Amino acid sequence: MSRLSQPQLNTLQAHIDYTVAYLDSLNLRLGISHDLSAFADYLKEQPATHGSPRTHDPAFTYIPPDMGFWIYAADGDRIVACHANVLSITDDFIADCLTQTYFGNLSTESVLAPCRVHPDSEAVSIHGRVCLGGGLYINPDYRGKKLGIINRVSRTIALRKFRLDFSVSTILDRPSRWRMARELARYHHLSRFMVNGQPGKPDIGDTVMCWSSAQELIEGIRQELEEAGVKIPQGT
State the DSSP H helix or E strand holding residue 161, giving kind and residue range, or none if neither. helix 149-162
Task: Write the DSSP symbol of residue 165.
Answer: S
- Looking at residue 104, its pLDDT comes to 56
Question: What is the pLDDT at residue 202?
Answer: 62
Instruction: Say if domain 6-227 classifies as CATH 3.40.630.30.
Output: yes
Q: What is the rounded CA–CA span in Å between residue 35 and residue 43?
A: 13
The whole-angstrom separation of Cα 11 and Cα 232 is 6
Residue 106 in this model has a pLDDT that exceeds 60: no
Strand partners, 58: none
Nearest to 152 by CA among 228, 234, 53: 228
pLDDT category at 28 given cuts 50, 70, 90 is very high
Q: What is the pLDDT of residues 152-176, one digit of tens each?
A: 999 999 999 999 999 999 888 899 9
Burial 109-136, CB ≥16 within 10 A → b, else e: eeeebebebbeebeeeebbbbbbbbbbb
pLDDT value of residue 113: 61
Domain coordinates in residue numbering, the chain = 6-227
pLDDT reading at 108 higher than 70: no
- Band (pLDDT 50/70/90 cuts) for residue 235 is low
| 3-state percent breakdown (helix, strand, coil) of the chain, nearest 5 | 35, 25, 40
What does the pLDDT look like over 73-91, one tens digit per residue? Answer: 999 999 999 999 999 999 9
The per-residue pLDDT for range 189-213, each reduced to its tens digit, is 999 988 876 665 666 778 899 999 9
109 pLDDT more than 60 = no
Provide the pLDDT for residue 153. Answer: 97
> DSSP letters along 67-127, please?
GEEEEEEEETTEEEEEEEEEEEEES-HHHHHHTTTTT-TT----S--S-EE-GGGTT----
Reported confidence tier of residue 61, pLDDT bands at 50, 70, 90: confident
> Does 123 or 197 have the greater pLDDT score?
123
Q: Please list the residues that pair with 87 across neighbouring strands.
A: 131
pLDDT top residue among 10 and 65: 10
- The pLDDT tens digits of the residues spanning 219-231 come to 999 999 999 999 9
